[in-house]
A and B are shown apart, each in its own frame.
Chain A
Amino acid sequence: MNILGISCHYHDAAACLIKDGQVVVAVQEERFNRIKNSADFPINAINYCIQAGGITFDEIDHVGFYEKPFLKFSRVIIDHLQAWPYSLKNFMDTMPYWLQDRLVLPLTLEKEIGFKGKVFFIKHHLSHAASSFLVSPFEEAAILTSDAVGEWATMTCGRGRGNDIQIFKEIQYPHSLGLVYTAVTTYLGFAAHEGEGTVMALASVGKPKYLDQFRKIVRVKDDGSFFIDESFFGFNKGTRMYSGKFIKTFGTARLPGSALEERHCDVAASLQKFTEETLVTIARDLYKETKLDRLCLAGGLFLNCVANSKILEQGPFKEIFIQPAAGDSGGALGVASYVYHSILKNPRNCVMTHAYLGTEYSADQIKRILLNRNITFKEFDDVELLRYVAGEIAKDKIVGWFQGRMEFGPRALGNRSILANPCNPHIKEILNAKVKKREPFRPYAPLVLEEKAGEFFELKGASPFMLLAPMVKKEKREVVPGIVHVDGTARVQTVNINTNQKLYQLIKEFENLTGVPIIINTSFNLRGEPVVCSPEDAINCFRKSEMDYLVLGNFLVEKS
């Protein structure tokens, strides 16, 4: 049975194909149309799912959509009415999309792919919950989801057992930790849905001087429920997400691109600290309710690896599974899983041990592209390649690493990655200057051999999806200065030989040369662009940057 899951119309559009319960393909639309966080109907992603899944369009049995558009529309209408006339512009801007696209998905499916079958619309947060629990290794677990807003819900608590998910608590719009985080992100001069990670990094530089103010703006009860003082925000009143009252409390907003002041860092630190303590409170209450040792997390807020670590370290749960595509793209996977397992009552048979679910290119295809672009390259066998690349990384060279299937979700997990030497204390500056052009306070993440992670990090278990930020052991910080953040943490990805053998072997080679089982990994893209998808994208990115090498499969291109 073939189930196609779709998420789109807001941001992070994606498609996912599940065949007899197995997630066979999952990919974001932005990778094809090259529009970062694209919200478009994911026609390219759907085409890829069909072709890579080895089926035809008429072999799709069911389609699942990651939310309920009419329920969401009711919230939007009420919200507009409540904010009238300030919401007029938003109303005028968004209504055409609602009427032409968002409310007519079955028609779009029939028109675009000829699908006339059953479309299941599942609540947004249930899709998130399913995206985590149904592909987790747990038979039974507590489930926590949180993001900006779905239909009405902004956060849900539930329990999963077998193929059943029960949501027993939800917090509704406008009371949303995700929206608060995004509003403050924009206040700090970063883009919504993109700059949240930057704010998380900035938080480490500041002090939580404004924590009490945030505690007053968002009042959290012992049971983890919370209430936002709306007078500080304007989620649907105009072009700005925060109000004049917010500015009076925290000072003038930072203009994008302007200098960062200490105050900005402190606001970020306060927001981050507040988010962490609230999530820990919620997690504790969830544990009380469920008495389960395992927790599944999904929703955009759980891309916040620092908060995730706090839940793991300070919360009562022994094990945590976080969906790697925790944002809305993961909703495509969640809804497809939910339709197959929970609605159609098929037993669970898929554990998501990796996120390599996207596009891949054969050696012949890559070679053809290199030849036809008149690019000089060397072809290696596996052993030679890994030895050579590890050696060059050890010499502080920057390597674009393009291998196998592309990752699903926002993180590059070693198949569409830029790699560098973590032992060089200046590597961050080199990476920023040559490729990433990032703010200087943002850290770079380490890939570490799973079995060696404990030697370097205060990490319980594995972190295969780079969604935890444990402390780097004090005695190791000088060994790998390139990956240590200001606060002593690192955004760790543990690498297991069974899920990415080539990457594992590369790190092993690097360890043989340097004694360090760690390599820096950052996403293979330039600032503001989606992660590369095809060899052509990788070549374009390589040409526009100052990377030293590009490795496409076993072909190595040196910057001339």
Chain B
Amino acid sequence: MEVANSKISLEPKTICKRCVLPESRSDIWLDDEGVCNICREFEKNKEPEQQKTTFLESDFVKILNQNKGNGKYHCLVMCSGGKDSTASLYYMKKRYKVNPLAFTFDHGFETEDALENVRNAVEILGVDYLFFKSDFMKEMFAEIVKTGSKAILCHPCSIWYMGLTYEIAARFDIPIIIAGWTKGQTTQQPVMSRCGCNIHQTEFASMSKETRAFLDGYMKKNLKYHDFPRSMEEVLSRAKKRHKAMVLSPHWFLPTDAHAYVEILKKELNWKFPRLSYPALSTNCYLNFLSVYNSMKNFGYTHYHVEMSKMIRESLLSREEALELLAINFDRGVLDLVAQKLGCTFSASGTLEPK
């Protein structure tokens, strides 16, 4: 994707001195020392030596052994082509020696680089692969952008993606769904029962409220989406009725940091960082740029800020590293190109307007 160069400025002004969350009433506020309520709560709840929320790898092995079953596929790996999900696929095949089915979902905004990473991985690892591409959600995304809704673009996308994943797991009778979620994308639960970003976290309260409000209103007037789940809870509740698959990520159980597994992926799976993605060193889709822009504009932070803040609290990332990764590395040109695919333009004044 060729883009014009015109920098945008969206950095949060005042952020917590411990993590990278900005003040965002009424969910997040900073105290006199400049530390946010989420960090204070973390300090208060646990003794420092108990603050690790990682599990042991043997717990993961135990879950796999107890649940993988005797079907053709032991697990369904949600693989976007990013480093974390590709590493998950790699671990399942090479470290845990189970038979995974890889699944990639493209809503029309995935980058070629990411898709190439997936193709390389499945070919080299010799795993079966399902690729699903559809512009079914395009109208909904466009509606969010055109109406200036504060709904987070990534939320309905995640709902859709998880719903599809559960459907595939049910169809192939696969008992375990493997994601590439990092330690920053979970709360401490033995087996995951929610999507990676736990929308019940305080930090997500306002964001999820806006998404819910949008979905409630929009789905009433658009019959195309009448059956679309309105929340992750609804996805889970529907999935539960049909098939019981659990969702978890090997990254929660392994001490290996991203630098180490990226080196393995590069060497063994010919994996590459995409030319352009946000946050730095990630592999997210083009729509993510608009989602990040809207989140920053409306809330002052993104779900990446939440994830990295959690990792900072658990000393898996330093604040400086997080700030470097979260620095806005894209410009108006990128936003405009994505907006145009949704029938909008990104104006010079920084607003999204219908064409």
Interchain nearest-CB distance for A372 vs B (Å): 5
Q: Is the CB of A536 within 8 A of B49?
A: yes
9-residue interface stretch from A49-57, A181-189, A235-243, A313-321: A49-57
Q: Is A432 interfacial (CB 8 A cutoff)? A: no
By beta carbon, the residue of chain B nearest A44 is: B56
Nearest residue (CB) in B for A367 is B318
Complex interface: chain A residues within 8 A of B49 (CB): 34, 536-537, 540
- Report the bound CA distance from A50 to B96 in whole Å: 13
Would you call A47 and B58 a contact (CB within 8 A)? yes
- Point out the residues of chain A lying under 8 angstroms from B51, CB to CB: 536
- If over half of A's interface residues share one DSSP class (helix, strand or loop), that class is named, otherwise mixed; here it is helix
Q: Within 8 Å of chain A (Cβ to Cβ): is B321?
A: yes
B65 x A368 contact (CB < 8 A): no
Indicate whether A368 sits within 8 Å of B62 (C-beta atoms), given known contacts A51-B57, A537-B49: no
Q: Give the size category of A's interface with B.
A: 20 to 34
Q: Which of B18, B58, B317 is within 8 Å of A112, CB to CB?
A: B58
A46 to B312, CA, bound (A): 27
Query: What residues of A have a CB within 8 angstroms of the CB of B217 in the complex?
Result: none
Chain B minimum-CB-distance residue to A47: B56
Q: Does A497 reach chain B (CB closer than 8 Å)?
A: no
Query: Closest CB-CB distance, A54 to chain B, in whole Å?
Result: 11
CB distance from B227 to the nearest CB of A (A): 41
Is A111's CB within 8 Å of the partner chain B?
Answer: yes
Q: How far is the CA of A30 from the CA of B58 in the complex (A)?
A: 18
Q: How far is the CA of A56 from the CA of B316 in the complex (A)?
A: 23
Q: Bound complex: CA of A50 vs CA of B64, how far in Å?
A: 17
How many A-B contacts at CB < 8 Å in the complex? 60
- Does A368 lie within 8 Å of B315, measured CB to CB? yes
A181 to chain B, nearest CB (A): 33
**Contacting B97 at CB < 8 Å: which of A50, A58, A112?**
A58
Contact of B95 among A56, A112, A365, A368 (CB under 8 A): A56
**Residues from chain A with Cβ under 8 Å of B17 in the complex:** 374
Query: Which of chain B's residues 46-101 have a Cβ closer than 8 Å to chain A?
Result: 48-49, 51, 56-58, 61-62, 64-65, 95-97
- What bracket does the count of chain B residues touching chain A fall in? 20 to 34
A247 at the interface (CB under 8 A from B): no
Q: How close is B226's CB to chain A, nearest CB, in angstroms?
A: 46
Whether B183 sits at the interface, judged by CB under 8 Å, is no
Q: Which of A530-545 contact B (CB under 8 A)?
A: 536-537, 539-540
**Contact indicator B56/A114 (Cβ below 8 Å):** no
Which of chain B's residues have a CB closer than 8 A to the CB of A540? 48-49
CB of B18 within 8 A of CB of A57, answer no
Interface flags, B308-326, vs A, CB<8A=1, else 0:
0000110111111100000
CA distance A540 to B95 in the complex (A): 35
In the assembled complex, A113 has its CB within 8 A of some CB on chain B: yes
CA distance A372 to B317 in the complex (A): 8
Is B126 positioned at the interface, with any CB of A under 8 Å from its CB? no
- Select which of A46, A114, A368 is within 8 A of B318 by beta carbon: A368
Instruction: Flag whether B255 is at the interface (Cβ < 8 A).
Output: yes
Given known contacts A56-B95, A540-B49, is B315 in contact with A46 (CB within 8 Å)? no
Question: Is B58 a contact partner of A372 (Cβ separation < 8 A)?
Answer: no
The winner among B58, B97, B254 for most chain A CB atoms within 10 A is B58
Q: Is A191 an interface residue (CB 8 A)?
A: no
CA distance A365 to B318 in the complex (A): 9
Residues of chain B lying within 8 A (CB to CB) of residue A374: 17-18
- For residue A105, CB closer than 8 A to chain B, the reply is no
A-B contact pairs, 22 of them (CB 8 A): A43-B58, A46-B58, A47-B58, A50-B57, A51-B256, A56-B96, A57-B57, A112-B62, A113-B58, A113-B62, A114-B64, A114-B65, A367-B318, A368-B321, A369-B315, A371-B318, A371-B320, A372-B312, A372-B315, A373-B48, A536-B48, A536-B49
Q: A44-B56, A372-B312, A536-B315 are in contact. List 17 more A-B contacts (CB 8 A).
A: A43-B56, A46-B58, A47-B57, A47-B58, A50-B57, A51-B254, A51-B255, A56-B96, A56-B97, A57-B57, A57-B58, A57-B61, A111-B62, A112-B62, A114-B58, A371-B320, A373-B48
Closest 8 CB pairs of A and B: A368-B318, A369-B315, A371-B318, A47-B56, A114-B65, A113-B58, A114-B61, A372-B315
A residues adjacent to B (C-beta < 8 A): 34, 43-44, 46-47, 50-51, 56-58, 111-114, 365, 367-369, 371-374, 536-537, 539-540
